[in-house]
Structure 1
């Protein structure tokens, strides 16, 4: 029997193995990277189009509306700018016109409360949800050529011609001005109080485009009909959407359900570890046939080409582009073409009607039109990617 000297340290089997330490460190790095990417994605998703100051009455950049506010003041109109809906509502009286861009940061109830004391309300931009809420009309495809008012409203009598980049289809009883066969650029609803007007003025009334055609005259016709203008600027700091209590699966189930589910999950994990250890490590086995994803894609493409179904291929291209654009713009994966077109137009500051035509317009009927659609969709995705990268790089 071998003797061991007193004080001699014996090797411990409890010492951590270097390989296990490297594994734990590697998984820690992966978890940290996942958390960092998730945080960055949430920051990007929470960045709204108004962060660039589109039609901000105090914005001096190309997309601001400081020039329009100053012209109104020169015409004797008192322009008051508010970024709080409570302060804006308190400032509204019978001699004031409430002006705002698309209030995407407010719920329908908050918007109704804000508009309640007003006699006149002018929306300088509108999304699909706002049009449905106001019941004033719908989106229309196409672009507007140079046109005159074409309606009997007296405030537009002295307005010259304009070139709008978005059209609307009016609802029954709504007056449509500056129109052609496809739609109208200005909708005025005088059926009830308050009197509402909707126009896509992102390019018409900003500091860069206000001096073109009859844009300034149209702005005065819409906003200078009263002595005062209460200009509300929607922003996330004044939003009431995040404060809502939304019913979740956890709030609708009894209190004992969640602990029971967690206990079942823990039992399942323990059973999987227990049963998995009995069979030893997994063994990789080569299957008789391996079908690559690229071969499946090429096979479907050949079937589509053989059938000469350009419309089916075009719809597939649009569906993929809509899904990718929705993910990049922070929308739901199954967001509709109108919502994607709204978000992309706000991000790129381009005519909204052109994007809607690409994402939901007529489908191609031949190969040449299909190739052109594919090129335009690819260019749109590249432009959105460049815009997102530029926004991230801007301090």
Structure 2
């Protein structure tokens, strides 16, 4: 093959190159699809978890964690249940003869919570936290969870006695002057504080009043007894934007205005540099070869190197490897045949001693150049004998 042929072959992309590029592009496309799928699944799961948490104790939610069942029972008993999701609307709906049902309100300040609760005749905390207990039931604190067994009220509260035994879930330590019911060890599952006509109750609504657990024990009766003491129930469900707290300064607020544009410019520059210096997949580029070397010259040059270094063993290995390949092909052995298998097959074909054939093809080590030449002659004689034994008709004149 001439240099021109090599250049022409190099300038034309082969089908193998096209398949390789296709596989690379396919791999990148598959990676991109997998990343998009993982991101989409993660977003869906995150949104589902957010919606599931948002629907907890929601009086309009029929989900297992919602509270629609309790709201409907109150309505069936003649109590109007008004669901509000805005703090101002809740304050406007409250009357001196209304019960305010409150979940946890971490986004509202202490002042906003007390302003809202002071308007109602009665407040029922269905997700008591340390802050609301401190604000509305002075001195009371959370105390963990009770064992999952029903206990009697063991207090003088009529609403609890009518409801009967319950498994209270979360329990609390009452403050001074707070009535406590449903004891578990030294804590209680229901706290009630009264100040004249104003009363505040605290109970674990997630355990007792959710749709999935409302039918257990006296849960439904307790919920109706606590919330149905007045003709109107204002059930406040805080929205996502319900907050009067001053937010903490963000990173953008703390940095100079020129930082964001500089970051964007640096990102764009980094992407441009990656595209510029990145690896490009395209056809092979033709390159002019500096010189064309004949195979015979390469062989002669390698032989001179072996002779100059007096490396007879390496030269013998090269001669034997070539001879083994040719003998194996003549004998019809596959490329996976070992040197010993080829030597044994040649000995069987010729009827020679196996050790002698193995010595020629494998074992004998020439210590000098004279022995190397003799080994070359023996290899040549062996090849000729095998070829004559396999195809004698081709060697007859």
Cα-to-partner distance string for 1:7-57 (whole Å, 9 max, x where unaligned):
xxxx799xxx96677656644553454344334323422433646854443
**Who is 1:95 aligned against?**
97
Counterpart check, 1:80 vs 2:87 = no
SS of residue matched to 2:206: coil
Pair 1:133–1:247, CA change in 2 (3 A): farther
Q: Could you tell me how far 1:243 is from its partner in structure 2? A: 11
**Who is 1:256 aligned against?**
258
**Who is 1:34 aligned against?**
35
| C-alpha distance in structure 2 between counterparts of 1:266 and 1:185, whole Å | 59
| Conserved 8 A contact 1:169-1:184 | yes
| Conserved 8 A contact 1:56-1:66 | yes
Of 241-250 and 201-210, deviating more is 241-250
SS of residue matched to 1:57: coil
Among residues 110, 114, 117, which one is paired with 1:115 in the alignment? 117
How many residues align? The count is 262
Aligned-residue RMSD, C-alpha? 4.7
**Who is 2:185 aligned against?**
181
Pair 1:147–1:263, CA change in 2 (3 A): same
Pair 1:248–1:37, CA change in 2 (3 A): farther
| Conserved 8 A contact 1:143-1:167 | no
Counterpart check, 1:227 vs 2:270 = no
Of 253-262 and 48-57, deviating more is 48-57
| C-alpha distance in structure 1 between counterparts of 2:99 and 2:50, whole Å | 26
Pair 1:35–1:175, CA change in 2 (3 A): farther
Counterpart check, 1:57 vs 2:53 = no
**Who is 2:358 aligned against?**
none
Pair 1:132–1:28, CA change in 2 (3 A): farther
Pair 1:265–1:171, CA change in 2 (3 A): farther
| C-alpha distance in structure 2 between counterparts of 1:34 and 1:113, whole Å | 49
| C-alpha distance in structure 2 between counterparts of 1:41 and 1:95, whole Å | 47
| Conserved 8 A contact 2:85-2:236 | yes
Q: Could you tell me how far 1:142 is from its partner in structure 2? A: 3.5
| C-alpha distance in structure 2 between counterparts of 1:169 and 1:212, whole Å | 24
Of 183-192 and 255-264, deviating more is 255-264
Q: Could you tell me how far 1:162 is from its partner in structure 2? A: 2.0
Q: Could you tell me how far 1:92 is from its partner in structure 2? A: 0.7
| Conserved 8 A contact 1:121-1:197 | yes
**Who is 1:151 aligned against?**
155
Among residues 208, 214, 218, which one is paired with 1:204 in the alignment? 208
Q: Could you tell me the TM-score, scaled by structure 1's length? A: 0.51
What is the correspondence of 1:338-349 to structure 2 with a 5 Å cutoff? Answer: none
| Conserved 8 A contact 2:99-2:124 | yes
| Conserved 8 A contact 1:167-1:182 | no
Pair 1:167–1:76, CA change in 2 (3 A): same
**Who is 2:166 aligned against?**
162
SS of residue matched to 1:219: helix
Q: Could you tell me how far 1:96 is from its partner in structure 2? A: 0.3
| Conserved 8 A contact 1:98-1:229 | yes
| Conserved 8 A contact 2:146-2:184 | no
Pair 1:208–1:264, CA change in 2 (3 A): closer
Counterpart check, 1:240 vs 2:242 = yes
**Who is 1:68 aligned against?**
70
SS of residue matched to 2:124: strand
| Conserved 8 A contact 2:130-2:141 | no
Q: Could you tell me how far 1:231 is from its partner in structure 2? A: 1.9
SS of residue matched to 1:48: helix
| C-alpha distance in structure 2 between counterparts of 1:186 and 1:59, whole Å | 25
**Who is 1:138 aligned against?**
142
| Conserved 8 A contact 1:79-1:228 | yes
Name stretches of at least 5 consecutive residues in structure 1 with no aligned partner: 1-10, 278-395
SS of residue matched to 2:208: coil
Please tell me whether Structure 1 or Structure 2 has the larger radius of gyration of its CA atoms: 2
Q: Could you tell me how far 1:246 is from its partner in structure 2? A: 4.9
Q: Could you tell me how far 1:141 is from its partner in structure 2? A: 3.8
